[in-house]
Amino acid sequence: MTISMLLVAFGLSAQDEETESTKSFTLSGSIDAYYQTYISAPDDAGATFGTAFADKTGFALGMGNIIASYESGKVGAVLDLVTGPRGGAATFSNDIVDGIVNQAYVYWNVSETTTLTMGRFNTFLGYEVIAPAANFNYSTSYLFSSGPFSHMGLKADFALSDDFSLMLAVMNPWDTNDTSMTGEYSFGAQLGYSGQFLNLYYDSGNNGGLGFEVDYTGGFDLSDAFFLGINAAYNDNDGSGFYGAALYPQYATSDDFSIGLRGEYFALHGDLDNFDYPSVLGVTLTGSYTVEDNLIIKPEFRLDSLTDADGGLYGNVIDNDGLAASSLSAFTLAAIYSF
């Protein structure tokens, strides 16, 4: 073999190695289950918090999901399949046995600073997310439960600098995840700075839409062991909506155990005179113990104090005598495995 042939062969081999090195496939996911008992109400009376997920007593399944991600060069795709009651509630499906599409999108890294994504993706609004493995508290907040869970559309992410980021999106209206037959669209934007995010969302509010929402999500490391998360939002849909704020102080006592609190105030508002809109003050105390990195055990105490004793938006709130109550408390023990 001549020297020129050796050089050509080496060049082709190097190109093959480079091509192979730019391709990657990853598989990840989580499984969770929990036990829940009410402290201030009978377990068999159907009392519920007015938030999404974790609304069963006794032993119950949360969800299981598998996320497949493939990237080749500057393009890639993600498929997130979910099953179980939490997955069914998050995707507005009554089928809790068969696999349900939570996320499915393709993306193109146009440059080092710009990425385009099209398909179905989880929302950019709020502090909490659908998969419990990514939340500190196992139960969810009223702010998270009131906003959209997912979007179907096109978004563009821009890295403006080392600290600043910008996202712009055009999507189907709120929680219209598969198709929109109304000819309407929603619009979203997110401005990020060093882990702090200002989120904006708008749709017409028709056909069950969300209307306008402004949302702040962020947090600060107050020390090596102490973190403070923050979420605040205001929503308006033709003169009525909701607003609230939540604080998430979390303290790591060791590498394996942390304790955290979610304190939340949430209320409805409207344009009707002399109407007492309900509000809730919720306090959730959660411990988080990590077993060999992949398994997390979370004991949790939750107490919600309400201004409306008849439940309404906040579910069926009763006391141990079966009478309407102004508060509901529960103990929950959750196990979450991620891979």
pLDDT digits (tens, 9 = 90+) for 175-211: 655 567 777 899 999 999 999 999 999 988 776 678 9
Q: Any bridge partners for residue 156, and if so which?
A: 116, 168
Dist CA 66 CA 47 (whole Å): 32
Please tell me the predicted confidence (pLDDT) of residue 189.
Answer: 98
In tens, the pLDDT along 136-153 reads: 999 999 999 998 899 999
Question: Taking the model in full, what pTM does it have?
Answer: 0.88
Dist CA 108 CA 260 (whole Å): 38
In tens, the pLDDT along 33-72 reads: 999 999 999 998 788 888 999 999 999 999 999 999 999 9
Q: How far is CA 210 from CA 148, 201, 331, in A?
A: 8, 9, 32
The residue ranges of the chain whose pLDDT is under 70 are 1-21, 94-99, 175-179, 207-208, 271-277, 308-315
Please tell me the predicted confidence (pLDDT) of residue 182.
Answer: 73
Dist CA 9 CA 1 (whole Å): 10
All structural domains of the chain? 23-338 (2.40.170.10)
